[in-house]
């Protein structure tokens, strides 16, 4: 699957996060990695001033770190999630 840095693909990632137990927020912040994960509160904060490419890369990194219950995901989001985990996305 070819990775495209578009707002449409960003929306797909945001939809995937909406089906997880984590809440995704875009806030201004001084994060070293561009994002912050508050595991106890299940909140993910991404720098809102990042360009689309930076947001997408941050969300992909986060998906590889957090635990996602795939049974909660719809079929299309489950396929996207597995593609991300198996490094099938090509840059």
Residue 70 lies in a domain: yes
What total number of domains does the chain contain? 1
> If we measure between CA atoms, which residue out of 13, 62, 15 comes closest to residue 39?
62
- The larger pLDDT score, comparing residue 90 to residue 61, is at 61
Count of H helices and E strands in the chain? 3, 3
**pLDDT, tens digit, 9 for 90 and up, residues 26-72:** 998 777 778 888 888 999 999 998 999 999 999 999 999 999 999 99
Find the farthest-apart pair of alpha carbons in the chain and give their distance in angstroms, rounded.
Answer: 35
Structural contact between residues 51 and 4, judged by C-beta atoms closer than 8 angstroms: no
pLDDT value of residue 68: 92
Domain annotation covers residue 48: yes
Q: Say if pTM beats, i.e. exceeds, 0.85.
A: yes
Tokens matching residue 57: 């890369």
Residue 1 located in a structural domain: no
Q: Report if residue 77 sits inside a domain.
A: yes
Residue 34 lies in a domain: yes
Parent domain of 77: 7-85
Residues 6+ apart with CB under 8 A from 7: 52
Q: Is residue 31 part of a domain?
A: yes
Position 28 in a domain: yes
The answer to whether residue 90 sits within a structural domain is no
């Amino acid at each position: 699957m070819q990775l495209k840095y578009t707002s449409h693909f960003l929306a797909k990632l945001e939809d995937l996060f909406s089906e997880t137990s984590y809440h995704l927020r875009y806030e201004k912040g001084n994060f070293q990695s561009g994002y912050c994960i508050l595991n106890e509160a299940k909140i993910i904060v991404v720098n809102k001033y990042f360009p689309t490419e930076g947001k997408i890369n941050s969300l992909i990194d986060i998906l590889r770190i957090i635990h996602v219950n795939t049974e909660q995901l719809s079929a299309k989001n489950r396929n996207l999630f597995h593609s991300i985990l198996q490094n099938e996305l090509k840059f």
